[in-house]
Amino acid sequence: MTRLSRFAALAVFAALSCIGTASAADYPTHTVKWVVGYPPGGTTDVLARIIAQWLSEKMGQQFIIENKPGGGNNIGTEFVVNAPPDGYTMLLVNPANGINATLYKNLSFNFVRDIAPVAGLVRTPNVMEVTASFPAKTVAEFIAYCKKNPGKINMASSGSGTSVHLSGELFKSMTGCDMLHVPYKGAGPALSDLIAGQVNVMFDNLPSSAPHIKGGRLRALGMTSAQREPSMPDVPTIGETVPGYEATAWFGVGMPKGTPREIIEKVNAEVNRALADPKMRERLAELGGAPIPGTPEDFGKVIRDETAKWEKVVNSSGAKVE
């Protein structure tokens, strides 16, 4: 390469570097796609739309939700993993991402490696609940009943490998309760059978079960979170009876690996501003959500810790993909 050619190459490189820096500083300059790996209408989708509205209003461009359901959340995740790392494709990170790392043996991606953590959003509890006619009225009474009737209690879930299923598997492993797992295709049919008494217990996401609990159709025995849920302060945590038990659904924002740090920090800062807003916190509380603000590194630790935690539960439970 001649001296002139080297100079020209360096000039092009410098120009491209300036363009990249300017692009990050001006971000976003057009619509941002936010992928949710579930159908519209569920808790995960509603959460993303609430935050997307805030980001659209505050960052000057539309953050559009694109639902890509299927494959136990893996279809949407794979789409984002393979998207250009330019900040214009995001992922609604959720418990399935940590669970699927172990549950699925042949994924085309490694979630911890291939997704850049951007910001945490909220944690929401699951609730251990039984049909209104079930004899146990507390977690302790349930454990005692279970020990006297091994293998006779049916534990419903919204599907194998979901946080609902594995919250129950964690309970089984920590208490020695012998229960039969009955997976359904979604929370709706599982709740219908639970209310009808066809199954006995479920560790459901609080938002979908709260109306049935408040209406007296189901009895809440305990929250899966470490602290009591403010919307149901009279319901104890499972950990008050089973020390160390804790299982929550957690949500956040991810982008493809290699996304410029400046863009990640810009979105992180705006998400944290949203989580600090009193009206936003009130809306999230209606979903049973407790904000988890922090740095991208903080959310990265959540992802790693949850992946490691559920790896043990999946392996001990023998959970399999349907």
- The reply to whether 292 and 192 lie within a common domain is no
CATH code where residue 71 lies = 3.40.190.150
User: For residue 116, is pLDDT > 50?
Assistant: yes
Contact predicate 261/81, CB 8 Å: no
Q: pLDDT value at position 18?
A: 46
pLDDT over 80 (residue 58): yes
State the average pLDDT over residues 309-317.
84
Inside any domain, residue 86? yes
Q: Which helix (H) or strand (E) holds 66?
A: strand 63-67
Of 240, 268, 303, the last residue of a domain is 240
Q: Given pLDDT bands bounded at 50, 70 and 90, which one contains residue 215?
A: very high
Q: What is the mean pLDDT of the chain?
A: 89
pTM for this predicted structure: 0.78
Question: Both 117 and 135 in a single domain?
Answer: no
When pLDDT is averaged across residues 28-47 and rounded to a whole number, the result is 88
- pLDDT value at 109 more than 70: yes
- 12 pLDDT more than 50: no
Q: Mark whether 226 and 158 lie in a shared domain.
A: yes
Query: Is the model's pLDDT at 13 over the cut of 80?
Result: no
User: Has residue 1 been placed in a domain?
Assistant: no
Query: Could you tell me if 129 and 236 lie in one domain?
Result: yes
41 shares its domain with 185: no
Q: Are residues 48 and 152 in the same domain?
A: no
The answer to whether residue 105 sits within a structural domain is yes
Domain closes at, from 207, 240, 273 = 240
Give yes or no: residues 154 and 295 share one domain. no
Give yes or no for a contact between 118 and 90, defined as CB atoms under 8 angstroms apart.
yes
Q: Which range of residues forms the domain containing residue 35? A: 11-123+249-317
pLDDT at residue 236 is higher than 60: yes
Q: Which of 187, 212, 240 is the last residue of a domain?
A: 240
| pLDDT at residue 263, as a whole number | 98
For 101-123, what is the mean pLDDT?
94
Domain count, the chain: 2
Confidence of residue 14 (pLDDT cuts 50, 70, 90): very low
